[in-house]
Amino acid sequence: MNIADVVRSLAGFAWLAAIGLGVLLIVRVSRNQSGKGLGSLTVGVLVTALILTILGAGLVFINPEERGVVISALDSKGYRTDTLTPGLHWVVPFAERVELYKISRQTYTMSVAAQEGQVTGDDSIRARTKDGQEVFIDASIIYGIDTSKVIQLHIEWQNRYEDQIVRPAARNAIRDAVSQYGVEEIVSTKRAEMEDLITKAIAEKFSQNELVLVDFLLRDIHFSDEYAAAVEQKQVAEQQAQQAKLVVEQKKQEAEQARQVAQGSADAAVIASKGAAEARLIQAEAEAKANQVLAESLTPALVQYQYILKLAPGVQTMLIPSGNQFILPLPGVTETTPAAAPTTPATTP
């Protein structure tokens, strides 16, 4: 309770007291009793009640979230040119009155839910897309009054601005924006763009009518039952197609994996064959090199020596071809003094 309300309450109590005293005075007079002192008290209380009433009628307290427009019979325009700001003010009783306007943020909701918005029942916005599909929009508009234009708002709209500006401007902007997009766009790639277009349109309309748009909230988008069923069928078909695509991709991966395994086995076989061939080539080259070295190192004496080594191991002596004077022992046999070949005794003819 502010001071203006306190003064009005006191004025009310004063009037009750004055009435009570007046009744008591009449009773006393009717009984031929003296009412001199009581009469003075009654007059005093009556004057106090009158003063408090006049004072209370002129006092106005403006809350922080309000502004007051003074309608004045004393001004040629019919109103004061300045609004009343928060605090206690006094206007001329019975010649001026104050219209209060809330400058705090307000929200206007239009929804399919029956009890959610300002209008009872389905209050969603019905609109048609560029491709002819019917959609239903749930939205909220957060707005406020331009504090510098409260008087002009009162002159043009009074307290009708919510029903005659906020609601029709928002619904019209939403319908215009929806008509510029296809149904697939407004639920996916173009939704944010459409919200921005609606916000700009509402803000411009509000600015022309002493209001300020704080925010536009696109809460939900509904479809007709037929279109919702078609969308669901399409989604099912797309999911099935996606699943089939995944199966095909999996088969491709399995085939590629099998091909790579086969290719790896073939490459391994080729590498193994190539390695074996190179090994044989290296062996052949080594044998050829060895034979070349062996051939270069062979002499008749070495060949004869190797031949002798290959003879039967039991051979201890060998005969030297005719013309040699000695019989040589085989290598490894204990050396003995070579015996002279027997000579044939000479005979005398």
For the segment 261-279, what is each residue's pLDDT rounded down to a tens digit? 888 887 788 888 888 888 8
Query: Are 277 and 211 within one domain?
Result: no
Q: Which of 102, 123, 144 is the last residue of a domain?
A: 102
The rounded distance, in Å, linking the Cα atoms of 130 and 178 is 7
Same structural domain for residues 138 and 193?
yes
Is residue 179 within 8 Å of residue 126, measured between CB atoms?
no
pLDDT band at 98 (very low <50, low <70, confident <90, very high): very high
What angle is formed at CA 32 by the lines to CA 31 and CA 36, rounded to 5 degrees?
A: 115
Q: How many domains does the chain have?
A: 3
Q: Same domain, yes or no, for 10 and 89? A: yes
pLDDT band for position 339 (cuts 50, 70, 90): very low
Q: How far apart are CA 171 and CA 164, in angstroms?
A: 11
Q: Tell me what the pLDDT averaged over the chain comes to.
A: 81
> Residue 344's pLDDT is what?
45
242 plus 205 within the same structural domain? no
263 and 204 co-located in one domain: no
Which of 198, 223, 248 is at the close of a domain? 223
**Does residue 41 form part of some domain?**
yes
Rounded to an integer, what distance in angstroms lies between the CA atom of residue 177 and that of residue 139?
13
> What's the chain's length in residues?
349
Question: Domain for residue 71, yes or no?
Answer: yes
**Residue 298 belongs to some domain of the structure:** no
DSSP per position, 65-113: TEEEEEEETTSTTSB-SSPBPSEEEE--TTTEEEEEEE-S-EEEEE-SS
Which spans in the chain are helix H?
Answer: 3-30, 36-58, 150-156, 161, 167-178, 183-186, 191-207, 225-297, 300-309
Per the model's pLDDT, the better-predicted residue between 84 and 253 turns out to be 84
Average pLDDT over residues 194-222: 94
- Look up the CATH number of the domain holding residue 189: 3.30.479.30
Chosen domain end from 53, 79, 102: 102
- Compute the average pLDDT of residues 63-70: 93
pLDDT of residue 62 exceeding 80: yes
pLDDT recorded at residue 323: 58
341 or 119, which is more confident? Answer: 119
Average pLDDT over residues 219-224: 86
Start-to-end CA distance of the chain, whole Å, equals 187
Same domain, 87 and 116: no
Distance (Å, whole) CA 60 – CA 28: 40
pLDDT tens track for 99-149: 999 999 999 999 988 788 788 888 899 999 998 888 999 999 999 999 999
- Residue 127 structural domain: 106-223
Half-sphere exposure of 171 (CA within 13 A, CB side): 16
Spatial CA neighbour of 159 closest among 172, 145, 142: 145
**Which has the higher per-residue pLDDT, 45 or 35?**
45
Average pLDDT (26-36) is: 74
